[in-house]
């Protein structure tokens, strides 16, 4: 399917690496002007340069942003440069896990501060303009564990489950304005998080060898590519997904026991 997002604008958080970068690149290649937010200035500049090189006809904006603080100023700057935000992709986050007997209130709050509260605030900031134009797409990147939590997976699973609830709430409240809100649930897909685990746990192995045991647990028999995840995000951002809202799509090669 050829997707044309010409004339659209997108804001992607966590856009300098991994899934966020892949999504921003896919949207740009489909014709959308793109803004990426992230904390690391060097990684942000490198990602913006790569996206510009791959999609020279679109505008690419890069803003340093720590989403644990209110992102109002950065969102305002993006809207000023791009003119508006038609597509919001809430992708920022980590996969921080602890056993419950060592879990603290601060652990949970820190995870919500990074994943849930910025997604809510950014939606609040871009929704008024989307309502005026009667067009909007909000995509929340979550995890398959939001639907099927496992022991030892808090606090990340708790915040992702809350993100799933937020997706449903926003979908219902914003549907009358033709703002569609959906979630993409990540399974075993190559990303910055997997690269960090590789370096921390088994740097003596090749990246593919490190992923081999995980690949065996996936019905499709392999770990997904970031580009495959980005393709689904691009579809949700397009007019082709005009009757999809309130969904949470697993992009996981069949791994999750819950659809």
Of 14, 25, 44, the closest CA to residue 115 belongs to 14
State the angle between helix axes of 18-29 and 226-237 in degrees (0 to 180), rounded to the nearest 10: 50
Give the span between the Cα atoms of 259 and 257, in whole angstroms: 7
**182: β partners:** 139
pLDDT reported for residue 194: 85
Global pTM exceeds 0.85 = yes
Q: What DSSP letter does each residue of 38-69 carry, written as one string?
A: ES-HHHHHHHHHHHHHH-TTS-EEEEE--TTS
* Domain boundaries along the sequence of the chain: 9-189+226-250, 192-223
Structure tokens at 159: 């915040």
What's the pLDDT at 30? 98
Helix (H), strand (E) at residue 14? none
Can you tell me the distance from the alpha carbon of 237 to that of 23, in angstroms, rounded to the nearest whole number?
10
Low-confidence stretches of the chain (pLDDT < 70) are none
Do 114 and 121 form a contact (C-beta atoms < 8 A)? no
Nearest CA to 161 among 195, 119, 192, 116? 116
Distance between start and end Cα atoms, the chain: 24
Which pLDDT score is estimated for 70? 96
pLDDT at 196: 86
- Evaluate whether 252 touches 186 at the Cβ level (below 8 Å): yes
Contact (CB, 8 A) for 65 and 39: yes
User: What is the full DSSP assignment across 148-200?
Assistant: S--TT-EEHHHHHHHHHHHHHHHHHHHGGGTEEEEEEEE-SB--HHHHHHHHH
Using the 8-state DSSP alphabet, how is residue 218 labeled? Answer: S
Which residues are CB-contacts of 241 (< 8 A; sequence separation ≥ 6)?
137, 180, 182, 235
Digit-coded pLDDT (tens) for 50-100: 999 999 999 999 999 999 999 999 999 999 999 999 999 999 988 888 899
Q: Which fold has domain 9-189+226-250?
A: Rossmann fold (3.40.50)
């Amino acid at each position: 399917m050829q997707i044309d997002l010409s004339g659209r604008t997108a804001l992607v958080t966590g856009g300098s690496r991994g899934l966020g970068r892949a999504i921003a690149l896919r949207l740009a290649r489909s014709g959308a002007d793109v803004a990426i937010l992230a904390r690391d200035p060097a990684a942000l500049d490198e990602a913006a340069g790569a996206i510009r090189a791959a999609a020279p006809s679109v505008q690419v904006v890069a803003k340093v942003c720590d989403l644990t603080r209110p992102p109002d100023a950065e969102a305002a700057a993006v809207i000023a440069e791009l003119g508006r935000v038609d597509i919001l992709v809430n992708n920022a986050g980590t996969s921080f896990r602890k056993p419950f007997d060592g879990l603290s209130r601060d652990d949970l709050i820190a995870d919500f501060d990074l994943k849930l509260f910025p997604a809510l605030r950014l939606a609040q900031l871009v929704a008024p303009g989307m309502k005026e134009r009667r067009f909007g797409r909000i995509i929340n990147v979550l995890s398959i564990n939001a639907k099927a939590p496992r022991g030892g997976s808090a606090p990340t699973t708790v915040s992702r489950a809350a993100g799933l609830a937020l997706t449903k709430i926003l979908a219902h409240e914003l549907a009358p304005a033709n703002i569609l809100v959906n979630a993409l649930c990540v399974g075993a897909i190559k990303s910055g998080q997997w690269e960090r685990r590789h370096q921390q746990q088994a740097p003596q192995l090749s990246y593919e060898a490190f992923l081999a045991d995980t690949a065996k647990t996936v019905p499709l028999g392999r770990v997904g590519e970031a580009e495959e995840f980005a393709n689904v995000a691009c579809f949700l951002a397009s007019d082709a997904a005009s009757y999809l809202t309130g969904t949470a799509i697993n992009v996981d090669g069949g791994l999750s026991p819950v659809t």
